[in-house]
Amino acid sequence: MVVSVSHVLLLTASLLAQASPWWEHYDSRDSFLCPRLGRVQLERNNAQASLISGRSRTTAFRDDSPLPGVRYTNQRMTLILQGDLLTIEQLPSRIECTRTERV
């Protein structure tokens, strides 16, 4: 089987886009299926979370809100994790995603 260098570079770039830096020490990685977004991945620990959608990555930090769910926020959005449901909130928009896999 002959594989071109460009295919190897594209595959490597794709894999790197899906992996977080080693120093972030995410404890869990979950996959969710979202309307309009498709499959997203949420990597998280007690202090922060990283939402990966395609080649984009957004980092949010833990919010100790008294509201239900585990919440992570940044200037653009709030991520709310409740059981198998992930809500991506960019007011006035809300997207509800369902967990498909826990790694």
Mind listing the pLDDT tens digit for each residue in 20-65? Answer: 554 456 678 999 999 988 999 999 998 999 999 988 999 999 999 9
15 pLDDT higher than 50: no
pLDDT at 101: 79
Domains along the chain with CATH numbers: 5-102 (2.40.128)
Q: What digits encode the pLDDT tens for the residues 84-102?
A: 999 999 989 999 999 997 7
Which residues, 6 or more positions from 60, have their beta carbon under 8 angstroms from its beta carbon?
48, 49, 50, 51, 72, 73, 74, 77, 78, 79
What's this model's pTM, rounded to 2 decimal places? 0.74
Comparing C-alpha atoms, which of 103, 100, 85, 19 is closest to residue 57?
19
| The pairing of beta strand 78-82 with beta strand 93-102 | unpaired
The position carrying tokens 């979202």 is 34
DSSP 66: S
Between 17 and 54, whose confidence is greater? 54
- Altogether, the residues listed in the chain come to a count of 103
Residue 58 in tokens: 């957004």
User: Contact 80/69 with Cβ under 8 angstroms?
Assistant: yes
Between 91 and 74, whose confidence is greater? 74
